[in-house]
Amino acid sequence: MTATRNPNHDADVIVIGSGMGGLATGALLARLHGRKVLVLERHYRAGGFTHTFTRRGGFEWDVGVHYVGEMGQPGMMRSAMQVATGGEVHWARMPETYDRLVFPGFEFGIRAGKENFRADLHAAFPAEGRAIERFFADVDRAASWVNVLAMRSSAPAPIAAMVGAVMAGRGALARRTTRSWLDEHVRDERLKAVLGARWGDYGLPPSRSAFLAHSVITSHYLEGGYYPSGTSARIAEGATRVIEAAGGTVRIRAEVERILVEDGRAVGVRLANGETLRAPVVVSDAGARATFLKLVPDDVPLPFRDELRTIPRSMSHVSLYLGLSRSAASLGVKGENYWLHDELDHDRMWDRGGELLSGRAPQTYVSFPSLKDPEAKAHTAEIIAGVDGSHFEPWAGTRWMKRGEEYEAVKERIADTLLAEAERRLPGLSGLVVHRELSTPLSTAHFTGHPGGEIYGLPATPERFAKPWLRARTPVKGLYLAGADALMLGIGGTVMSGVMAAAAIAGPSTFGRLTAAARRHPDPTATAATPSATSPSIA
């Protein structure tokens, strides 16, 4: 399976960025096709949003992975994760009620299992039976359209166009907004709030998000949530070992300045330190903006450059990392996520996001990593709020850790606000806090290079999924795109983008080899007991 190597090449494949898309592409090419892969990461740790950081006292936090779906049953997503990480990642199952939605006057707990979710919705909203059944049917239909995107991403242009034409009917549903679907089919504002919640998992409120993105994320979590035992750092570690086993390398502090293009073909990269590295294949996991507007030379014709410049940024976030003196289980928490809302209208909450800087948090997400991770060595929590990165532009251009007293005061105010919001639902949480620190969109931009600190790549609007140039195959021969912009956002979407990029590079045999390789790994999850038939969690 080892490719014939040119002695003038530094690798068979160069991958720019070690996010999940880049690592998956590199690891699958290494494991399934014997390619020598060189991954280049600008940060001092590999992993992108799968990396972690630690503080004194044994506290450790994930910066991007809070829970993952589809790990409890066989499928392409689970197979790709197993093979890309060498089967080293064990996924611990979260509690049966893994997401708890909190609104003024009521709560709704989402239980693992599609039929549990369906039954609980019917019990809580008996007058909306038709809308509830339509929701599950349309989610299935819209989510299946991601197969069109996958084909478009990896197949040669003529085949991708043909399949897209055949599936055009489903595309109409997939590319409408989530809000338009809710307004057409649902009358109860509380049910709209429940079905439209968790948009923080894909970064846009209902009026702006494609129903496709909403459906893919809803489907992804239908059978419950899982968390990587030993934190998400195990993902990057496992993928790195797979790449190294085939003779490849993952290099940190290696920032790519330019993709080298000769006679219309990508032939390597130039690093910020002036070093030149060559390979017949280059994969960018740096995002479409950075790839096509910064890394590819301006004299390389790309007809969509001007269009790309007009696409707005997607959601950024602030994250408050908490070290606790004892387990949050003492507060009745079992490891579930809490989505806290101060009203029912998700779009209005997003529009009010700037209130975060002045002491009000319209929507927050509270997670307890140490209760999800059976290997956790200390008690931790995270409180997150989505925000438009433009609110932090007054400090753009300042240096990390040296942004000034005003910035630090704003951070303290935000941290106080987030903790106060969580305290309202979980009384006693503040009393457990022995360490806290806040990251902002500026922190994300510093470590990832994403403009404005956006966390999901290009925004998941209906228009975004109609762009034929957002695919693994780019117009530049030898250059491929991986990550959220190449297929779908989230860890599931980026892992699958790696599958599609690997298939585009090495051919369709990738799919069969992936399935065969996955069979050689044991079940990566804890005991997957059938969810118990408990009463609906609404009060």
Domains of the chain with bracketed CATH = 13-90+229-311+459-519 (3.50.50.60), 315-455 (3.90.660)
Residue 113 has pLDDT above 50, yes or no: yes
Please tell me the pTM assigned to this model: 0.91
The token duo for 66 is 């809070």
In tens, the pLDDT along 274-298 reads 999 999 999 999 999 999 999 999 9
Which strands, in side-by-side order, build the sheet including 106-111?
106-111, 97-103, 337-341, 363-367, 379-387, 316-324, 433-439
pLDDT greater at residue 127 or residue 395: 127
CA 182/CA 150 separation, integer angstroms? 27
Amino acid found at 80: A
Strand segments (E) across 122-271:
226-228, 249-251, 256-262, 265-271
pLDDT cut 90: percent of the chain above it: 72
Rounded to an integer, what distance in angstroms lies between the CA atom of residue 448 and that of residue 219?
Answer: 28
* Least confident among 160-164, 303-307, 533-537: 533-537
**For residue range 341-376, what is the model confidence (pLDDT) as tens digits?**
999 999 999 999 889 988 999 999 999 999 999 999
Which residue is associated with the tokens 């925000």? 387
Rounded CA separation 177/63 (Å): 29
pLDDT at residue number 502: 97
Query: Per mean pLDDT, which range of 115-119, 151-155, 380-384 is the poorest?
Result: 151-155
Per-residue pLDDT band for 203 (boundaries 50, 70, 90) equals very high
Provide, for the chain, the percentages of residues in helix, strand and coil under a 3-state DSSP scheme, each rounded to the nearest 5: 45, 20, 35
Q: How, if at all, do strands 316-324 and 281-284 pair?
A: unpaired
Strands 265-271 and 276-278 turn out to be antiparallel
Read off the pLDDT band of 167 (50, 70, 90): low
The pLDDT value recorded for residue 4 is 52
Query: What mean pLDDT do residues 115-133 have?
Result: 98
Smallest Cα–Cα separation from 213: which of 252, 174, 158?
A: 174
> Do 39 and 305 touch, CB atoms closer than 8 A?
no
pLDDT, tens only, 234-289:
999 999 999 999 999 999 999 999 999 999 999 999 999 999 999 999 999 999 99
Decide if pLDDT at 119 tops 60: yes
d(CA 495, CA 498): 5
pLDDT at 368: 97
**Confidence bin at 533 (pLDDT 50/70/90):** very low
| Rounded CA separation 66/273 (Å) | 35
* pLDDT value, residue 150: 86
DSSP assigned state of 399: B
381-403 pLDDT tens trace: 999 999 888 888 888 888 887 88
Are 472 and 221 within 8 A, CB to CB? Answer: no
Q: Which residue has the higher pLDDT, 530 or 460?
A: 460
The per-residue pLDDT for 532 is: 31
Instruction: Work out the mean pLDDT of the chain and round it to a whole number.
Output: 91
Q: Using CA atoms, how far apart are residues 287 and 225, in angstroms rounded to an integer?
A: 27
1-10, 278-287, 481-490, 517-526: range with lowest mean pLDDT? 1-10
Rounded CA separation 269/258 (Å): 6
Region of 340 on the Ramachandran plot (φ > 0 left; ψ -120 to 50 alpha; else beta): beta
pLDDT over 80 at 534, yes or no: no
Q: At what angle do helices 490-506 and 146-154 cross, to 10 degrees?
A: 40
Please, what's the b/e burial string for 65-79 (b: 16 or more CB within 10 A of its CB; e: otherwise)?
bbbbbbbbeeebbbb
* Nearest Cα to Cα of residue 247 among 88, 33, 42: 33
Q: Which of 46, 43, 35, 38 is nearest to 14 (CA)?
A: 38
Tens-digit pLDDT profile for residues 325-345: 999 999 999 999 999 999 999
Confidence class for position 537, pLDDT limits 50, 70, 90:
very low
pLDDT at 39 over 90: yes
The residues with which 278 forms a beta bridge, in sequence order, are 268
pLDDT at 116: 98
Please give the average per-residue pLDDT across 202-220, as a whole number: 95
pLDDT single digits (tens) 1-32: 445 567 778 999 999 999 999 999 999 999 99
For 82-124, the three-class secondary structure string (H helix, E strand, C coil) is HHHCCCCCCEEECCCEEEEEEECCEEEEEECCHHHHHHHHHHH
Mean pLDDT of 57-85: 91
